[in-house]
A = this chain, B = another copy of it.
Amino acid sequence: MDKPRIVIIGAGFGGILTAKYLAKKDVEVVLIDRNNFHLFQPLLYQLSTSVLSIEEIAYPTRAFFRKYKNVFFMLAHVQGFDFVNKEVITPYKRVKYDYLVIAAGATTNYFNMPELSYHTYGMKTLREAIHIRNHVLHMFERAERESDPAIRQRMLTFVCVGGGPTGVEEAGALSELIFIAMKNEYHRLQNDTPRIILIEAGHTILATMPPKLQRRTRQVLKKKRVEVMLNSQVINCDKNSLTLKDGTIIATNTVIWAAGVRAVPLMEQTGYPLDRSGRLIITKTLQVPTNPNVFAIGDCAHFEQNGYPLPTVAPVATQQAIICAKNIMHSIKGEKLQNFIYHDLGSMATIGCGQAVLCKGNFTMSGFPAWLAWMGVHLLRLSGFHTNITVALKWFWNLFSGIRLGRVITNIPDNRE
């Protein structure tokens, strides 16, 4: 008899961990992803601001499974499903499964404003982060050549939308890139003042954290010359400006959109009930209610606990991955499936180098000790021992010298620019 075959869609935190667990069992695993690497998304903002390099946050997926001959990786963009015949549809072939794990992740949520997707920069993929890096550096090069001061100011105005951890981290890192690393390098821009603006629709940044940490974060951002605009809803955006609901127009060529995520569009191909963020609604055992052979975990799954859906963060995906893998083995053996319970590990955000806030329940921490804790947690989770060393080196180097070597424009949009 053939081994049971488990197909996993997505090589993010959830997919990789599910595959790692199942690799040691007597099953066949097919892991499908549209990229050949596992992306460490929480540090994507550091790539976009020239702190880390591509190799430090993107790890070749196949390297995880070198020893496991029962794990097959496939580079493909999944197009749909045939649940009747138990097949996943890819451009090359249909892949048969006995059990399917959908761990396809999330994408940027533009809240049905397509013009935003044209004129803003998302922060979810490696390519998007590289685009931001190229674009920000390029804006400085163009500004230095520009004689009109108004256009120069527009080129030097950088807007992050979304006051959650991603927006805060991106704004803080941008501030250091611009006011520390690049200061003194643009000799013709010494009389210009770049602006970094963080826009949040709600009444506070880091809404899920205690007020104390919100205040602390505001203070640090202020020091870093990041202007925070609260209660400000973006309603439009074009090539050269951003419009808020109250009529304010901000002249800018750079809008980084970190205001929300939704499940990848592939979820719509399932035909199963989704929540309003496009996530698959799943049972306590992480299965699709009407199809016990299909599991869903992580950012593309909607799991309710205490009346609320779980947040789209890495610890949810990794904790679910273990239960998902166990439940598949239970199911193969005809055993009873286990219910998933999420254990909140707290949340954290860095605001540039040497500054962070973190909380778990009533416990809070901020400043340099929090940054050290943040660093430890992220180093432990990065893939590859060698990466840990170079990343730690870079962080300390950055802390002491402010130098960022990754300021390399790999793609100049137009030959004439």
Contacts and interface: CB of A to CB of B under 8 A. Distances in A.
A186 interface: yes
A3 interface: no
B393 A405 contact: no
B406 A55 contact: yes
A83 interface: no
A410 B54 contact: yes
A127 interface: yes
A89 to B, nearest CB: 13
B145 A92 contact: yes
A296 to B, nearest CB: 24
B408 A54 contact: yes
A387 B185 CA distance: 20
Interface residues of A, number: 59
How many of these chains are in the complex? Answer: 2
A290 interface: no
A264 to B, nearest CB: 14
Contact of A66 (B37, B76, B185, B390): B185
B77 A408 contact: no
Contacts of A60: 185, 405, 407-408
A373 B75 CA distance: 40
A31 to B, nearest CB: 11
A187 interface: yes
A2 B76 CA distance: 61
A126 to B, nearest CB: 6
Contact of A59 (B405, B409, B415): B405
A271 to B, nearest CB: 23
Nearest to A39: B408
A75 B141 contact: yes
A185 B55 contact: no
Given A184-B66, A387-B405, A397-B386, A410 B55 contact: no
B145 A74 contact: yes
A262 B126 CA distance: 35
Contacts of A56: 53
A389 interface: yes
Contacts of A405: 55, 59-60, 63, 384, 386-387
A186 B62 contact: yes
A144 B31 CA distance: 14
B408 A386 contact: no
Contacts of A188: 72
A35 B187 CA distance: 18
Contacts of A393: 386, 389-390
Contacts of A411: 127
A149 interface: no
Nearest to A184: B66
Interface of A: 34-37, 53-56, 58-60, 62-63, 65-67, 69, 71-72, 74-77, 91-93, 126-127, 130, 137-138, 141, 144-145, 182, 184-188, 384, 386-387, 389-390, 393-394, 397, 403, 405-412, 415-416
**Closest 3 pairs between A and B when the two form their complex, measured CB to CB:** A62-B185, A75-B141, A60-B407
Given A55-B405, A390-B394, 5 more contacts: A36-B137, A36-B409, A53-B55, A60-B185, A76-B145
20 contacts: A36-B137, A36-B409, A37-B407, A37-B409, A53-B54, A54-B406, A60-B407, A62-B186, A63-B407, A69-B187, A71-B187, A74-B145, A75-B141, A91-B415, A91-B416, A92-B145, A126-B408, A386-B393, A386-B397, A387-B405
